[in-house]
Structure 1
Amino acid sequence: MTSPVSLELGTLCPKMISAWILILAEFITVLSCGEAPMPRHTVKRFSGLYTGPYFDPTTPTNITAQLGTHAYLPCKVKQLGNKSVSWIRRRDAHILTVDRYTFIADERFQAFLVEASNTWTLQVKYVQPRDAGQYECQVSTEPKMSHFIQLNVVVPKIEIVGEAELYVKAGSTVSLRCVISRSLEEPAYIFWYRDSERVLNYDKTLIDIRMERIGADTTVGTLIIYNSRREDSGNYSCSPSNLDSASVMLHVLNGEQPAAMQHGNSGARTRPADWRWVSLPLALLAARKPKLLLLAAALLILIACHESDDGK
């Protein structure tokens, strides 16, 4: 007759044997890797769909930055463990950073980790047009894992409204408008210069400087000169922060007619009309009375000489 103790042992033995087999298998696996066995509580295990590093699907693939600003390219890596993260510029396969170490002489590049979001971010300072292109965020798994981000660089357009040269009458009010379009960010300031000397509006009765944001990507800077004088003439340029400048040549004239001030040398523009009225009678004279042709030609020469003297 079988005792109760032997029945209990017969029931427990298969479970104990299975448990010991699992423990021995794990021990042999660790020894085959050349490492000492680690306590169970120190082994990090991942649960869920991924058993190792993976890229967060919300990580962007397109980043747009404005010329002269800073660009930030994020790479969200989950369950990174002890793996490294590298940033590589695709156009020349140049390794920019590995973890927090920088491997390029250009100091505008650096990488940093935002631990709260498991994000390795590549920072590109003072973005230039040549920085546009594709960048690779690479994780040192085997095989390597890569996430690609396209960096787009927007170059704003800067212009002063009107002609390259502006003629105004002394005593009039001059308004110069500098328009910055295709600008993702509003400039921190717009400085005005006259012949390389900064224009300051200490006295608003003489000079006024304004800046206004119009729409989502356009800023207008305005320089107003009240009661303009001849000494206000010069090369005026507007210079927004972190951007190139645009310029216009201002001429303040005394004793000129409005047409001359707007069109420069008015004699050159009105001369064709004067010649047209003289040439018609000349043709009639030549057809009907050839003897008067010499007199008409002399008259024409006198008119031309008079215009030449006025233009000097």
Structure 2
Amino acid sequence: MTVCCVLLTVLSFKFCTPCEHSYLLDLLACVVVFSGGEAAHTAVKRFTGLYTGPYFDPTTTTNITTQLGTHAYLPCKVKQLGNKSVSWIRKRDAHILTVDRFTFIADDRFQAFLVENTDTWTLQVKYVQARDAGEYECQVSTEPKMSHFITLNVVVPKIEILGESDIFVKTGSTVQLKCVITQSLEEPAYIFWYHDGNRVLKYEENAIDIKIEREATQTTVSTLVIYNTRSEDSGNYTCSPSNLDSASVLLHVLNGEHPAAMQRGKNSASPIPAWSHLSMGLGLAACTPPRFAIAVALSLAALSELLAC
């Protein structure tokens, strides 16, 4: 190959008057002789489809999923940016969030920064809220403008304490309150339990126990165990994970009392049925003979007691 090129070049300088033109032609002939045209095709292909200005990396993601309360990072990889600017725009209200490193929204949860050596302009959304879900536009200040869109999906975990909202137990029994958190991409940093507003601590052995388990990919369970319950254990119990809503139940510790009787005893404003009828009968005394009024009152009271039974 090299010999061919050298010979053709020497001949072109020796026999051609316009040496520059002959030299270029001979070089082209050398390439064709050597590769049968392949090298020429490759040379042309090298200059096909090249970007002369900014362009988005085609491998950049178009979907980001994050959990409520965490931080979200939306990447926008721009090659050959040059002196152009990169802006982030929230599509639902066309609000300009950032331009390069400058923030143009009062919400300081939004910030853009360049990840060095990666050509990636990243939009950070701190403490993501449900309303942050939607489409975001990464725009480059070319003419016309270039845009890359990323959809932010916000997963809202669900939290509940299993069972009824009111729990009735007998004194001395063992109670388990199970708080289940589902659709949680990340395990909570902590889960606190509160009793009537005061944090429950494992301060007494064989009295209270708190267990936390990651049962599945997106499920975390916290169990509060109360041993040998006493009347003072009654009250509101709240399960409160980090960066999430809380869930509550009411625990009623009964001292040999039936739940229905306890609920009836709470309502002190309710009149006693027998006495209501007695007062009604006594009211008749104003317009009837006293002996008749008393008889009616006693009869109504007796009938009321029989119906209550």
Tell me the TM-score normalised to structure 2 length. 0.71
C-alpha contact 1:55 1:78 (8 A) present in aligned 2 = yes
| Gap change, CA 1:13 and 1:255, over 3 Å in 2 | closer
Structure 2 residue aligned with 1:238: 239
Which residue matches 1:143? 144
Q: Which amino acid aligns with 2:158?
A: K
State the identity as a percent: 71
Counterpart Cα distance in 2 of 1:163 and 1:13: 95
Structure 2 residue ranges without an equivalent (≥5): 1-13, 24-46, 265-297
Q: Say whether residues 1:190 and 2:197 are aligned partners.
A: no
Residue 55 (structure 2) aligns with: 54
Aligned partner of residue 169 in structure 2, secondary structure:
strand
CA shift at 1:303, angstroms?
7.4
SS at match of 1:179: strand
Output the CA distance in 2 between the equivalents of 1:145 and 1:250.
60
Partner of 2:305: 305
1:108–1:126 Cα contact (<8 Å) kept: yes
Shift of 1:115: 2.1
Q: Deviations over 1:209-243 (max 9, x none)?
A: 11111111111111000000000111000000000
- Whether the 8 Å CA contact 1:167–1:264 is kept in 2: the answer is no
Which whole-Å deviations, capped at 9, do the CAs of 1:69-128 have from their partners, x for residues lacking one? 001101111111221111000011111011111111100000111122211110000001
Q: Quick one: distance in 2 between partners of 1:100 and 1:8?
A: 64
Distance 1:118 1:13 in 2: 43
CA gap of 1:165–1:67, structure 2 versus 1, over 3 A, is same
Match of 1:38 in 2: none
The code of the aligned residue for 1:305 comes to E
1:11 aligns with 2:24: no
Give the TM-score normalised by the residue count of structure 1: 0.71
Specify whether residues 13 and 206 from structure 1 end up closer, same or farther in structure 2 by C-alpha distance, changes over 3 A only: closer
Name the SS of the counterpart of 1:116 in structure 2. coil
CA contact (8 A) 2:90 2:136 kept: yes
1:77 correspondence with 2:78:
yes
Please give the alpha-carbon distance, in whole angstroms, between the structure 2 residues aligned to 1:253 and 1:300: 34
Q: Deviations over 1:248-305 (max 9, x none)?
A: 0111110225x769x966xxxxxxxxxxxxxxxxxxxxxxxxxxxxxxxx99985751
Q: Which residue of 1 aligns with 2:277?
A: none
Partner in structure 1 of residue 159 of structure 2: 158
**Equivalences for residues 12-27 of structure 1 within 5 A:** 12=19
2:16 and 2:22 in contact (8 A); partners too: no
Write out the 4+ residue segments of structure 1 that deviate beyond 2 Å after TM superposition: 7-16, 46-49, 298-304
Partner of 2:226: 225
Q: CA deviation digits over 1:126-145, x for unaligned, max 9?
A: 00111111000001111111
CA distance in 2 between partners of 1:204 and 1:186 (Å): 27
The structure-2 alpha-carbon separation of the partners of 1:249 and 1:303, relative to structure 1 and needing over 3 Å to count, comes to farther
1:201 alignment partner in structure 2: 202
Residue 99 (1) aligns with residue 100 (2): yes
CA RMSD after TM alignment? 2.8
Unaligned runs of 5+ in 1: 1-6, 17-45, 266-297
Conserved in 2, the CA contact under 8 Å of 1:109 and 1:125? yes
